[in-house]
């Protein structure tokens, strides 16, 4: 699955023939990542709770000359993930790279009144689901003895609290710590664990926030880079972290946010003569 644009990058990353598992691979950042890894020559397992969405991404990879398989599975089911891991190993081989992109997003109201079933479901998908996948596919990496790479898709909301998001910020903060702990625990097996924290990204899951052009423009103005990210921009960073080019990067988080996380002080109102105010005696 190559073209002139990706030939050089694919060779540089050295991902050809690597078995890569992408959870939440049916849409958004997960789909973009699955396509990017396939363009780099990886063998990709597209895992998603929505089987049709996973099929569509796997078919797109195959049509472009790559090799992929789709797997319908809920990341919150230990049995389903164990079965998926066994099937992927049988059809493609032992996983070398795992990308945990499956997630639930949404506003759930103030924490004091959050529905506990919704709270638990979000933590199950966004945090516990990642652990279950790491256990299943990490075991393959350990058994193969050739090392591996795990990339967890966290969020800027794991660094900065998003009010009324229920368990979302809490779960993503937990995912950041999970990544750091596993970086230490799995390092002796040659397995690295890092995370990527997207800022504002336009995906099917976040599309409702961009329907209003005024809101979309306002969000773009907040980002120092002046625009909302595309899923492909996250996919490139994830592919790099998965590759041997990032062989000495372990236990780290990369904020891919166009500078948004650094913009707080730029939003503080300043007096018209702010320079004079600090120099006058």
Cα 84–Cα 45–Cα 167 angle in degrees, nearest 5: 70
Yes or no: say if 38 and 68 are a contact pair by the CB < 8 Å rule: yes
Strand partners, 84: none
Residue closest to 144 by CA, chosen among 195, 102, 83, 98: 98
Query: What are the angstrom distances between the C-alpha of 200 and each of 15, 67, 79, 175, 205?
Result: 28, 31, 34, 18, 12
Measured CA to CA, the distance from residue 207 to residue 210 in angstroms comes to: 5
Measured CA to CA, the distance from residue 114 to residue 112 in angstroms comes to: 6
Active site residue 168: yes
Establish how many alpha carbons lie within 13 A of residue 203's alpha carbon, considering only the half-sphere containing its beta carbon: 26
DSSP codes joined into one string, 23-49:
ETTTSHHHHHHHHHHHHTT-EEEEEES
Active-site entry in 107, 168, 210, 248: 168
Catalytic residues: 168
């Amino acid at each position: 699955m190559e073209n002139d644009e990706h030939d050089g990058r694919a060779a540089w990353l050295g991902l050809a023939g690597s078995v890569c598992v992408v959870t939440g691979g049916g849409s958004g950042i997960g789909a973009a990542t699955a396509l990017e890894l396939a363009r780099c020559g990886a063998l990709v397992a597209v895992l998603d709770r929505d089987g049709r969405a996973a099929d569509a991404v796997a078919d797109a990879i195959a049509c472009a000359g790559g090799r992929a398989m789709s797997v319908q599975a809920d990341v919150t089911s230990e049995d389903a993930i164990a079965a998926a891991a066994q099937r992927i190993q049988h059809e493609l081989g032992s996983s070398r790279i795992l990308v945990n992109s499956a997630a639930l997003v949404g506003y759930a109201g103030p924490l004091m009144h959050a529905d506990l079933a919704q709270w638990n479901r979000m933590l199950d998908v966004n945090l516990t689901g990642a652990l279950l996948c790491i256990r299943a596919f990490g075991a393959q990496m350990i058994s193969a003895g050739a090392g591996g790479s795990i990339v967890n898709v966290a969020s800027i909301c794991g660094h900065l609290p998003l009010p009324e998001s229920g368990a979302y910020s809490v779960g993503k903060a937990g995912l950041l710590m999970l990544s750091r702990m596993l970086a230490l625990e799995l390092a002796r097996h040659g397995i690295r664990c890092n995370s990527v924290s997207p800022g504002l990204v336009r995906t099917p899951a976040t599309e409702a926030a961009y329907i209003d052009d005024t809101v979309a423009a306002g969000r773009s103005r907040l980002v120092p880079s002046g625009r909302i990210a595309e899923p492909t921009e996250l996919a490139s960073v994830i592919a790099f972290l998965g590759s041997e080019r990032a062989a000495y990067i372990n236990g780290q988080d990369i904020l891919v946010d166009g500078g948004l996380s650094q913009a707080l002080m730029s939003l503080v109102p300043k007096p018209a003569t702010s320079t004079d105010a600090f120099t006058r005696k």
